[in-house]
Amino acid sequence: MNLADLNKIAEAMVMPGKGILAADESSGTIKKRFDAIGVESTEDNRRDYRELMFRSTEAMSNYISGVILYDETIWQKAKDGTPLVEVIAKTGAIPGIKVDEGTKPLHNCPGELVTIGLDKLADRLPKYYAQGARFAKWRAVIDIGGGKPSHTCVMANAHALARYAALCQEAQIVPIVEPEVLMDGDHDIDTCHRVTEWVLKETFQQLYYQKVALEGIVLKPNMAIAGKKSAKRASVQDVAEKTVRLLKNCVPAAVPGIAFLSGGQSDEEATAHLDAMNKIGGLPWKLTFSYGRALQAAPQKAWSGKAENVAAAQRAFAHRAMMNGLASLGQWKQDLEKKAA
């Protein structure tokens, strides 16, 4: 493992003013998104949609530091025959790859899941590296409610995340460590804060046991935020302050940066929360975004599977990328959204 090189990539992934595009939706997830806009989820349509984002020069060059790809996409070629990883690299963004293989029910823990895919990961990583991937992603999901999460679930997922991270670094690939506490329930922000603190502390303990070099990772956590079904909503400032306090209590300063997931927040919500955190300032790590839906919902709707809509979709993508780029600097303002409308 060359830690200096891993650190250089990790630092580039959280470069001020830029963030990570999560374009790694599974076949099932992207089908749901395409169904919503009336587009058939074929291999060509998936490629065309993702290619329009990767060729959005303004967005990619100015605001996107890296792109997380699905296994299908990393091997695909653009319509003109150029490998998509080359299209991405030409913009200055770093290609990455989702390496987990989804989730399975966790034995003896009703309603809880564990992420799988470790068994052949050591064999897969060198192939991804040869294809151009310089970072990877592994997502663990933790649910709140009905006695969840259990100690077993938190431990099992934290251990798997740490094993994955160690294997990535051995293959000279920067691991994005993504423990996601879901916002699907009716819990309030304080419950989310408490559970996320537990999950992050356990994750970093497991990273230590697996001898993962923190200088060569990027953390992708949820924010401290109330569940979608909660009657008690928290203000933007409350989310920012509680999330920053949570991170300061859990995340060592050696970590180069934190790239938040949007986790079901609206586009503007995700941007406003990130901006408010960066306005607090005085943080030991960079705070940026690694958004999927919060970057893509607008361009997907604008595109709707029609070639004549590609330019409009690229404008929508560039706008959301710019808004989040500004938020990563603490320079976003609400009226910038109105000007673009």
The amino acid at 81: G
Whether the link from the prior residue into 105 is cis, omega within 30° of 0, is: no
Residue 329 phi/psi, 5° resolution? -105, -5
**How far apart (Å, rounded) are the C-alpha atoms in residues 191 and 260?**
19
Q: What does the domain layout of the chain look like in residue ranges? A: 3-340
Residues 253 and 293 sit within 8 Å (Cβ to Cβ): no
For residue 340, the model assigns a pLDDT of 60
Q: Are the CB atoms for 55 and 80 separated by under 8 Å?
A: no
Give the pLDDT score at 339.
Answer: 67
Q: What angle do CA 321, 35, 112 make, to 5 degrees?
A: 80
Comparing 151 with 337, the larger pLDDT belongs to 151
Residue 334 has pLDDT above 80, yes or no: yes
Residues ≥6 apart with Cβ < 8 Å to 257:
10, 11, 13, 14, 218, 219, 285, 286, 287, 288
The pair of three-digit structure tokens given for residue 251, joined into one six-digit string: 């995340």
- Whether the predicted pLDDT of 341 surpasses 90: no
pLDDT band at 28 (very low <50, low <70, confident <90, very high): very high
Q: How far is CA 154 from CA 132, 181, 221, 255, 284, in A?
A: 32, 10, 14, 21, 26
pLDDT at 71 over 60: yes
Mean pLDDT estimate for the chain = 96
- Residue 4, Cα to own-chain centre: how many angstroms? 23
157-170 residue pLDDT tens: 999 999 999 999 99
pLDDT one-digit tens code per residue, 279-313: 999 999 999 999 999 999 999 999 999 999 999 99
What local confidence, expressed as pLDDT, does residue 288 receive? Answer: 98
Q: Identify the CATH number of the domain defined by range 3-340.
A: 3.20.20.70
What pLDDT, on a 0 to 100 scale, did the predictor assign at position 338?
78
Q: What is the pLDDT of residue 72?
A: 96
pLDDT of residue 155: 98
Which pLDDT tens digit goes with each residue over 179-211? 999 999 999 999 999 999 999 999 999 999 999
Mean pLDDT of 94-119: 97
- Percentage of the chain exceeding pLDDT 70: 99
Q: What would the mean pLDDT of 325-335 be, rounded to a whole number?
A: 96
What contacts 329, CB < 8 A, 6 or more positions away? 16, 17, 278
Percent above pLDDT 90 for the chain: 96
For the segment 13-22, what is each residue's pLDDT rounded down to a tens digit?
999 999 999 9
For residue 41, pLDDT beyond 60: yes
**138 alpha-carbon distance from chain centroid:** 10
The backbone region for 263, taken as left when phi is positive above 0, alpha when psi lies in -120 to 50, beta otherwise, is: left
Residues 215-259: tens digit of each pLDDT: 999 999 999 999 999 989 899 999 999 999 999 999 999 999 999
| pLDDT value at residue 244 | 98
Rg (CA), the chain: 19
Q: What's the confidence (pLDDT) of residue 1?
A: 87
Task: Find tokens 């329009």 and name the residue.
Answer: 52
Q: Does residue 178 have a pLDDT over 70?
A: yes
At residue 84, does pLDDT exceed 60?
Answer: yes
d(CA 58, CA 63) in angstroms, rounded, equals 8
Residues belonging to the active site? 178, 220
Contact call for residues 57 and 322 (beta carbons, < 8 A):
no
- At 210 the pLDDT is 98
DSSP string, 53-74: HHT-HHHHHHHEEEEEE-HHHH
Give the pairing of strands 113-115 and 103-105. antiparallel
Which of 49, 13, 41, 54 has its CA nearest to residue 137?
13
